[in-house]
Amino acid sequence: MLLSQTIALALNAYMPGSKLRELSLTDGAGMADKWLVTVEKKGNCDLKDAVAAECKFTPIYSPCGDGKYISGYTTSYNPYSAWKLSSKVINALPGDKTVMDLLNLASAALGGSLPAGLSYSDIVGAVGLINEAFDECRIFVAISSKGDISDYCMPPAPEMCAETMASASGNNAAEAAIPSVVLIDVKELTVNAYPNPFKGQLSFRFVSPVSGNAKLEVFNASGQRLSVAFDGKVSAGVQNFVRYSPASTASGLLIYKLTVGDKSVTGKVQSLQ
């Protein structure tokens, strides 16, 4: 089993154009309870066209007067998956703890050199996990501290029943037909970027627990600010949506930072430009 899994990993790692060998299996913050997140690839298995498949949503219709409105969405298709990494195996890897280091470890084990504290089944499981996670040219997303992939598929904002709005506000029907603002009770500043990874256009969805001026900045991996995606006033508990199209040179790992007042939150996203 170890032989077949090692051969499969070697074939994937040395595929023309593949950067799998260089992928680090640690986020640098310790390996306890870490997950490898990948996303299904859109289109054929051409590494030069690494475009992530998109999430799909099914609307939930609720009664509104004589008709219906979309009160929410369910996720009908989530192309993201998470695999639990073996901290025991990853911690045994030298250097940057890359997939290549894992391949070398498996090759050494086949030759009879087994590190103390590891079994052959441990190594088989770790190598098999990488093969499965990148099967059919799936795209790397992140090394995450959680296995919940629901955050990667953020549904569109729901509608608001015009009749309910009219009843609550006392406005006429024409005014009530204007899309409403749905207040959300949040205690912390939150921001989500999707899809991740992305190519072409990135969407941000954020909400602040307090009103004030908000600034959403995008940086490259070196900390250089690339642009300000949003700079303006926001209200407490209101969802804000920002669409961002980076320059064609903004590729690789990007870091975004949302600041409202004295509070800030950051996140990472992978650009496939």
C-alpha span between 269 and 52 (Å, rounded): 13
Residue 102: what pLDDT? 94
Alpha-carbon 247 to chain mean position:
20
Mean of the per-residue pLDDT values for the chain?
A: 82
- Label residue 244 exposed, middle or buried (CB < 10 Å: 0-12, 13-18, 19+): buried
* Spatial contact of 50 and 139, defined as CB atoms under 8 Å apart: yes
Of 19-23, 180-184, 269-273, where does mean pLDDT reach its minimum? 180-184
* Spatial contact of 90 and 29, defined as CB atoms under 8 Å apart: no
C-alpha span between 178 and 166 (Å, rounded): 10
* Single-letter residue type at 223: G
Percent of the chain with pLDDT strictly greater than 90: 30
When pLDDT is averaged across residues 120-124 and rounded to a whole number, the result is 94
What's 180's DSSP letter? P
Please enumerate in sequence order all residues whose Cβ is within 8 A of that of 222, keeping only pairs 6 or more positions apart, or say none: none
Residue 125: what pLDDT? 94
Confidence band, pLDDT 50/70/90 cuts, at residue 167? very low
Tens of pLDDT along 43-58? 777 766 778 888 888 9
Residue 172: what pLDDT? 40
**168, pLDDT greater than 50:** no
Alpha-carbon 149 to chain mean position:
8
Where do the domains of the chain lie?
2-40+81-144, 49-78+149-180, 182-273
**251, pLDDT greater than 60:** yes
Tens of pLDDT along 174-224? 333 334 445 556 788 888 888 888 877 888 888 898 999 999 999 988 888
CATH of domain 182-273: 2.60.40.1930
Please enumerate in sequence order all residues whose Cβ is within 8 A of that of 191, keeping only pairs 6 or more positions apart, or say none: 204, 205, 206, 216, 256, 258, 265, 267
Confidence band, pLDDT 50/70/90 cuts, at residue 98? very high
Sole residue written with tokens 């066209």:
49
Residue 144: what pLDDT? 86
Residue 80: what pLDDT? 93
- The closest alpha carbon to 99, from 198, 195, 196, 15, belongs to 15
Bridge partners for 84 per DSSP:
35
* Single-letter residue type at 102: L
Residue 110 CB neighbour total at 10 angstroms: 15
Both structure tokens of 73: 């969405």
Confidence band, pLDDT 50/70/90 cuts, at residue 249? low
